[in-house]
Amino acid sequence: MDKKVEMALRKVQKPARYTGGELNSVIKDKHNVDVRFAFCFPDIYEIGMSHLGGKILYGLLNSIDYVWCERVFAPWFDFEEQMRCNGIHLYGLESGDDISTFDFIGFSLMYEMSYTNVLNMLDLAGIPIRSADRKDLSPIVILGGPCACNPEPLAPFADIVCLGEGEETLCEVIELYRKCKINKLSKTEFLKKAAKINGVYVPSFYDVDYNEDGTVKAVTPNVSEAPAIVRKSVVKDFDKAYFPDKFVVPYIDIVHDRAMLELFRGCIRGCRFCQAGFIYRPIRSRKPETLNRQASLLCKTTGYDEISLSSLSTSDYRYLPELMPELMDWTEKEGVSLSLPSLRVDNFSRSLMEKISSVRKSSLTFAPEAGTQRLRDAINKNVSEDEIFKTCRLAFEGGWTSVKLYFMLGLPTETMKDVEGIAELSQRIVDTYYSMPNRPKGKSVNVSISVATFVPKPFTPFQWEAQDTSEMIIEKQQHLREAIKSKKISLSCHENHTSFLEAVLARGDRRLADVIETAWRSGCHFDSWDEGFDYDKWMDAFKKCGIDPAFYANRKRSFDEVLPWDHIFYGVNKKFLQRENEKAYRNETSFNCREKCGACGASILTGGVCNAAD
Amino acid sequence: MQPIRIFFKKEGRAKYISHLDLNRVMQRALRRACIPVWRTQGFNPHPYIAFGLPLSLFYESDCEVMDARLDGDMSLSEVKKRLSEQMPEGIEITAVKRPEHKLTDICFASYQLSLEFDGMAKKDLEDMLSKVMSNEQIIIEKKTKHRTVELDVKKYFESADIVVSDGLIRIDVTVPAGPTENLNPAFFATAFEKYGVKPDFENVRRLRLLTKDMNIFS
């Protein structure tokens, strides 16, 4: 290890974030590889290392002989200061080498509030932040992840944006790059070839024109190689798709420190506010025997004693009744526990509950999202009051005494009556507990409600909606606080300024790039952390750039407006989203995909494959 | 049930693994190695392991100790072989034995310190060292859980084996260690800073653990 780094490590918290050397990290001989890939996660080690997508791509890229993929995370403030004072460049954890010499610098965009960290990490690597200032073939800055579905605010910084599932696109891009490098092609020549690959979006090949009112007029390709509409890429055979047989096992405690399985991709529900529910379509699932094999292999190679069965809605996995006994056949013997995040209240069964509690009793969390049935119908969260109470009763009978509920404020069509509904629903859960003769003896109930602010997102039926202003949200929060009478209910509300900025960035266009750069230059990064977020600096940045953030966050769009991401295609067609939006205003629910296909159109990406009914 | 004692080195990148994290590293390694260790019988069963003297972050060691109990048939050489295969970079199993002493028998530990002084020649360092040693007392502050006590460490300067070269002072020293009295050899750097010159960098390596009679702990 470099002496400068070693000295810096003595002065920071949790030095093991920056040392590498963990079990199952991949070490290759740099002289024997053609392509070096820095897989950057724009947040700290503990969060980045918990991310399943990163583990999949790390394993996949390193399975290619000529590629060496290394991990890079955002250094926390203390280490960043050391790096800047001592001239340490951002390095890959595996080799310790400066990533500015790498072929690819890839970023996973999981949330909007990590955008300034992308710029900061490029800067820490000593790389010009704007694509136009990087003239050479390498490094190529490539972005991906869920936020890449509207990459426009980051367009000038990226060379390539991978739309959709990176498993497909990345390998093709890297193979092409390798050929171009051998043949000494220029960056532009490489990008023109890359633009033809499905799922590859090269922002510099598109010009954006604006109307006088500030809305987008048109986005048009400026080279013949770039398609007018760029499609996301998807894994067609999910059961056979690559899944790592080992995870890098961290030394320090990270957020999700366990083995993880991915049961299925996509979601049958179509809750109208939920971006994940639309951008991961069509639904593709894995066979239980595949999952069981992967689980057992992962436990062997990592030594983990916990497996998380992850997906967007785990109880919707059709083969859960087959999978659970298969897993429990060996996990119980070996002292391995199972955790099932993302359960729904409507199909949470007694037998499922018993299966979880036989291993370890974790807390129970449900997301009704809205306080009244009317609003739950409008957002298509198909959960009824009866189901909520049935589940709570089951849980109380099973020995749980604390329930956590997630709600959102500021949903389209919401009134104060819906806000009060949150308090009423919570109160009735408390009452339910005390009305049960067989409740856990001598224990008090605790209902904690967590209230977030709704952020309208691209590719959802609410992509046209206005976000409530901060003033409106604060008023609603206050109203809710006053409506809660019981001490058994605890309320926590999200910080509003963050949600506002998220709403701006989520549906932003290219003009926001200047704002992001200005905010970053004035010191903003780690915006998702209290330690980093500085709302005033952001507002100053908007002012300096002459941009009104409310135009992006609080303005309702008409259906015929050209949206900044209209040239990007994620499978779900716009007419379908519009129909869903209109239904919301009629308080009409839609069937889930298993009950009846809603003709969203996404299966066009897989040649008709959608496992929703399966 | 058979008590076993595992001896290992911790060096290189592994010096950044904290004591708390080491516990997790070992639990998982035992699991991967499929070694039949006795598990605690509580609400959340996990392999029972206990460590000897905790090692400070950034210190290397030739003589770390971990105790476990075998619950099933497996030879000690098999345990060593399996566990060795599962160690992360920087941790090396040196021996697996039946314990001779109790963990509480640890009374002393020997360390080697390498203190680096950038740009100081051997002569300058010798002068600095004799200036420090000329003090009647060498007082450092030692923080305990509840209070800070002042401690005269001159006797350790006198008993230590100190070698000076260009830019480097190397110290071999034995200090009290264990549950009753424990002294971290970091005080040498503190004393140099207070009475002479602050070292620019410090490497510490634990060489051996000793019992009350100065026998090697095993």
Kindly provide the ipTM of the predicted complex, given to two decimals: 0.90
A399 touches chain B (CB under 8 A): no
Determine the pLDDT at residue A360.
47
How far B38 CA sits from the closest chain A CA (Å)? 12
Q: Pick from B99, B122, B151: which residue ends a domain?
A: B99
Q: Do A15 and B16 touch (CB under 8 A)?
A: yes
Same domain, B94 and B109: no
pLDDT tens by residue, B163-175: 999 999 999 999 9
For A252, the closest chain B residue by CA position comes to: B21
What CATH number labels A360-455+466-511+549-555? 3.30.750
A300 touches chain B (CB under 8 A): yes
- Average pLDDT of span B54-60: 95
Which domain range does residue B149 map to?
105-211
Determine the pLDDT at residue A361.
52
Residues in CB range of A432: below 8 A, 6 or more apart: A389, A392, A393, A396
B72 touches chain A (CB under 8 A): no
Determine the pLDDT at residue A552.
98
How far A392 CA sits from the closest chain B CA (Å)? 24
Q: Do B28 and A10 touch (CB under 8 A)?
A: no
CA A592/CA A269 separation, integer angstroms:
5
DSSP result, A535-582:
HHHHHHHHHHTT--HHHHHSPPPPTTSBPTTTTEE-SS-HHHHHHHHH
Determine the pLDDT at residue B31.
92
Q: Do A251 and B12 touch (CB under 8 A)?
A: no
Instruction: Show residues of chain A in contact with B86, CB under 8 Å.
Output: 23, 303
Task: Report which DSSP code applies to A195.
Answer: T
Sorting pLDDT into bands at 50, 70 and 90, what band is A359? very low
- Average pLDDT of span A59-76: 98
Residue B159 domain flag: yes
Sorting pLDDT into bands at 50, 70 and 90, what band is A348? low
DSSP result, B129-142:
HHHHHTSS--EEEE
Instruction: Show residues of chain A in contact with B90, CB under 8 Å.
Output: 21
CA A142/CA A158 separation, integer angstroms:
6
The structural domains of chain A, with segments of one domain joined by +, span 3-231, 360-455+466-511+549-555, 519-546
Residue B142 domain flag: yes
3-class DSSP state for residue B88?
coil
Sorting pLDDT into bands at 50, 70 and 90, what band is B145? confident
Same domain, B126 and B186: yes
Q: What is the CATH number of the domain that holds B200?
A: 3.30.70
Same domain, B41 and B18: yes
Q: Taking the CB of residue A608, how many other CB atoms lie within 10 A of it? A: 8
Instruction: Show residues of chain B in contact with A22, CB under 8 Å.
Output: 88
For A21, the closest chain B residue by CA position comes to: B89
Residue B55 domain flag: yes
Selected residue with higher pLDDT from A87 and A337:
A87
Residue B218 domain flag: no
Sorting pLDDT into bands at 50, 70 and 90, what band is A355? low
Q: How far is CA B217 from CA A170, A309, A530, B75, B99, in A?
A: 55, 46, 49, 22, 9
Q: Which residue has the tokens 């049958």?
A: A268
Selected residue with higher pLDDT from A415 and A608:
A415
Same domain, B143 and B86: no
Rg value, chain B, Cα = 20
Intrachain domains A3-231 and A360-455+466-511+549-555 with the same fold? no
Q: Is the pTM of this model over 0.90?
A: yes
Q: Helices B187-195 and B122-133: crossing angle, nearest 10°?
A: 90
pLDDT at B214 > cutoff 50: yes
Same domain, B75 and B121: no
Instruction: Show residues of chain A in contact with B116, CB under 8 Å.
Output: none
Q: What is the mean pLDDT of chain A?
A: 94
For an interface test with A, the pick among B28, B31, B85 (most A C-beta atoms closer than 10 Å) comes out as B31
Per CATH, the architecture of A3-231 is what?
A: 3-Layer(aba) Sandwich (3.40)
Instruction: Show residues of chain B in contact with A301, CB under 8 Å.
Output: 32
- Average pLDDT of span B29-35: 94
Residue B199 domain flag: yes
Q: Pick from B99, B128, B156: which residue ends a domain?
A: B99
Q: Tokens for A273, please give them.
A: 């506010």
CA B40/CA A336 separation, integer angstroms:
14
**Count of structural domains within chain B:** 2
Same domain, B203 and B109: yes
pLDDT tens by residue, A302-331: 999 999 999 998 888 999 989 999 999 999
pLDDT at B44 > cutoff 80: no
Among residues A352, A349, A375, which one has the least CA distance to residue A271? A375
pLDDT tens by residue, B75-129: 999 999 999 999 999 999 999 999 999 999 999 999 999 999 999 999 999 999 9
For B86, the closest chain A residue by CA position comes to: A23
Q: Taking the CB of residue B123, how many other CB atoms lie within 10 A of it? A: 10
CA A474/CA A226 separation, integer angstroms:
45
Q: What is the mean pLDDT of chain B?
A: 93
Q: What is the CATH number of the domain that holds B94?
A: 3.30.70.580
Q: Pick from B38, B65, B99: which residue ends a domain?
A: B99
Is A245 within 8 Å of A56 (Cβ atoms)?
no
Asked whether the CA dihedral A303, B6, B51, A15 is positive or negative, the reply is: negative
Q: Residue type at B178?
A: G
Helix (H) or strand (E) holding A515: helix A512-521
Residue B47 domain flag: yes
Backbone angles phi, psi at B156, to 5 degrees: -75, -30
Residue B58 domain flag: yes
Determine the pLDDT at residue A614.
74
> CB-based burial of residue A102 (10 Å sphere; 0-12 exposed, 13-18 middle, 19+ buried)?
buried
pLDDT tens by residue, B146-201: 888 899 999 999 999 999 999 999 999 999 998 888 999 999 999 999 999 999 99
